[in-house]
């Protein structure tokens, strides 16, 4: 029952009962990676809590042998916040989808990030509504034809990275379900971050949006489409033959150029920078700026106090200053008077 932290293995996180995603769904690989990473974190199994909204992705908690809550559509962030504020020692993970977390739930996503609540957010981005069988989502590419956009969508997708950064995210990363090794590194980094960790996981829905991320996998294109981020390293890709730099001094733009060998000209990745300008830039590569590769990895990781931390600090301070709760004091305060045999007497007197 109660395995010690050291002995925890992947098996401890696999519940009985079958997993009901479509065969071939990218969600399976994410599940397996999470179950692989958790036992390595040195956290007791009973301290993990997985909270989700509604969607295929949000079925996740049922497939984890941890505490879990499959809540309602778009609202997982609120429940996760309540859990964390009540018991900060828990390791709280939120699982959501591009519809759950960015369509109906976009506002809560913004606010939990802004507050830097110590919750790990895994956003499964398959650029489609899976559970409702294939309508476009806020991350679907413009012009996409779906059951509700027969002539193609007419709205521009949101970039989850930009959204999270503008919301003040202290940790932002992108990875893909098709690359378990990279995904597990990112998951570990997220787990180690104190504060909100926002992770976009590109996930293939092979039933309603198959091949959405093929370009990151195809032999022919993957080298030119992926840019793997490494702290302190220049932004190089295509086996270091290409790199990204900022051009045009007073009116800078991102451009990709051949790597002459001297890589000093290229932008260097610094996820720890105080401001979010470079991460914002890098997050747009490929996604908003055609012809450039897409950044994979940790875009930003800075340390700021988390909301739950500050909340409990204020509580401790208040107790230190005013002493802890006391029913009698609570009720018998304000302007009191007693009515007895004689006249009423003002108690403050």
Partner 1 sequence: EKLESVTIRFCGDSGDGMQLTGTQFTTTSALVGNDISTYPTFPAEIRAPQGTLAGVSGFQIHFSSNDIHTAGDELDVLVAMNPAAFKTNIKDLKQNGILIVNQDSFNAGNLKKAGYKEDEDIFAKWRSRIRIYEVPISKMTMEALKDIDMMARDKERCKNMFALGLMYFIYNRPLENTEKWLESKFGKKKLVLDANVAALKAGYHFGDTCEMFQNTYEIPKASIKPGTYRNITGNQALSIGLLTAGQLTNLPLFLGSYPITPATEILQEIAAYKNYKARTFQAEDEIAGIGSALGAAFAGSLAITTTSGPGIALKSEFMNLAIMAELPLIIVDVQRGGPSTGLPTKTEQTDLLQVMFGRNGESPIPVVSASSPSDCFYTALEAARIAIEHMTPVVILSDTQSAIGSEPWLLPDIETLPKIKFKFHTNADTYKPYDRNDMLARPWALPGTPGCEHTLGGLEKENISGKVNLSAEAHEEMVRIRAKKVENIAKTIPATQVYGEQSGDILFLGWGSTYGAIRSATEELLKRGYKVGQAHIRHINPMPNDLGNIASRFKHVVIPELNTGQFNMIFRAKYLIDTKPINQVNTKPFNVSDLVKRAEEIIGGKA
Ligand X SMILES: Cc1ncc(C[n+]2csc(CCOP(=O)(O)OP(=O)(O)O)c2C)c(N)n1
123 vs 281, beta carbon nearer ligand X: 123
Element (H, E) at 172: strand 171-176
Spatial separation of the C-alpha atoms in residues 104 and 135, rounded to whole Å: 14
21 vs 266, beta carbon nearer ligand SF4: 21
Q: Does 62 bind partner 1 (CB under 8 A)?
A: yes
Q: Does 14 bind a second copy (CB under 8 A)?
A: no
Is the CB of residue 224 less than 8 Å from the CB of residue 236? no
Q: Does 225 bind ligand X (CB under 6 A)?
A: no
Give the binding-site size for ligand X (rule: CB under 6 A). 17
Q: Which does 132 bind (CB under 5 to 8 A by kind): Mg ion, ligand X, a second copy, none?
A: ligand X
Other C-beta atoms lying within 10 Å of the C-beta of residue 301: 21
36, 41, 111, 194: residue in contact with partner 1 (rule CB under 8 A) = 111
Q: Which does 17 bind (CB under 5 to 8 A by kind): ligand X, partner 1, a second copy, none?
A: partner 1
**Interface residues for ligand X in 292-311 (CB under 6 A)?**
none
Helices (H), 76-217: 76-86, 98-102, 106-115, 160-166, 180-192
Torsion of CA 247, 249, 250, 256, to 10 degrees: 10
13, 21, 163, 198: residue in contact with ligand SF4 (rule CB under 6 A) = 21
Strands (DSSP E) contained in 229-273 are 236-237, 242-247, 253-258
106, 130, 286, 293: residue in contact with a second copy (rule CB under 8 A) = 106
Backbone torsions φ then ψ of 163, nearest 5 degrees = -60, -45
Burial class for 88, CB neighbours closer than 10 Å (0-12, 13-18, 19+):
middle
**Interface residues for ligand X in 29-58 (CB under 6 A)?**
54-57
Spatial separation of the C-alpha atoms in residues 9 and 20, rounded to whole Å: 23
Question: Footprint of a second copy on this chain (CB under 8 A)?
Answer: 103-107, 110-111, 114-116, 138, 151, 154-159, 162-163, 165-168, 234, 245-246, 249-254, 264-268, 270, 273, 275, 277-278, 280-281, 284, 288-289, 304-305, 307, 310-311, 314, 317-318
Question: Footprint of ligand X on this chain (CB under 6 A)?
Answer: 54-57, 73, 97-100, 124, 126, 128-132, 137
């Amino acid at each position: 029952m109660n395995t010690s932290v050291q002995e925890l293995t992947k098996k401890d996180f696999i519940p009985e009962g079958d997993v009901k995603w479509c065969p071939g769904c990218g969600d399976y690989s994410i599940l397996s990676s999470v179950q692989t990473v958790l036992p390595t974190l040195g956290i007791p199994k009973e301290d993990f809590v997985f909270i989700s909204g509604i969607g295929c992705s949000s079925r996740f908690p049922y497939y984890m042998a941890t505490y879990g809550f499959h809540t309602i559509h778009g609202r997982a962030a609120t429940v996760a916040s309540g859990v964390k504020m009540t018991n900060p020692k828990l390791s709280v993970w939120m699982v959501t989808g591009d519809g759950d977390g960015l369509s109906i739930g976009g506002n809560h996503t913004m606010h939990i990030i802004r507050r830097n609540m110590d919750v790990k957010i895994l956003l499964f981005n398959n650029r489609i509504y899976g559970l409702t069988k294939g309508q476009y989502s806020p991350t679907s590419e413009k012009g996409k034809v779906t059951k509700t956009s027969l002539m193609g969508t007419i709205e521009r997708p949101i970039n989850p990275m930009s959204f999270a950064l503008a919301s003040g995210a202290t940790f932002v990363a992108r990875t893909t379900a098709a690359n378990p090794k990279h995904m597990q590194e990112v998951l570990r980094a997220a787990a180690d971050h104190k504060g909100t960790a926002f992770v976009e996981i590109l996930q293939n829905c092979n039933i309603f949006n198959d091949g959405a991320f093929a370009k990151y996998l195809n032999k022919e294109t993957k080298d030119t489409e992926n840019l793997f981020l490494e702290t302190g390293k220049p932004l190089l890709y295509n086996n270091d033959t290409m790199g990204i730099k900022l051009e045009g001094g007073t009116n800078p733009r991102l451009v990709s150029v051949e790597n002459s060998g001297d890589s000093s000209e290229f932008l260097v990745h610094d996820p720890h920078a105080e401001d979010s300008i470079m991460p914002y830039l890098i997050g747009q590569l490929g996604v908003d700026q055609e012809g450039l590769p897409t950044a994979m990895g940790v875009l930003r990781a800075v340390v700021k106090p988390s909301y739950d931390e500050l909340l409990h600090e204020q509580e401790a301070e208040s107790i230190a200053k005013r002493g802890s709760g006391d029913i009698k004091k609570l009720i018998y305060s304000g302007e009191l008077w007693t009515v007895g045999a004689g006249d009423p007497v003002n108690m403050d007197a």
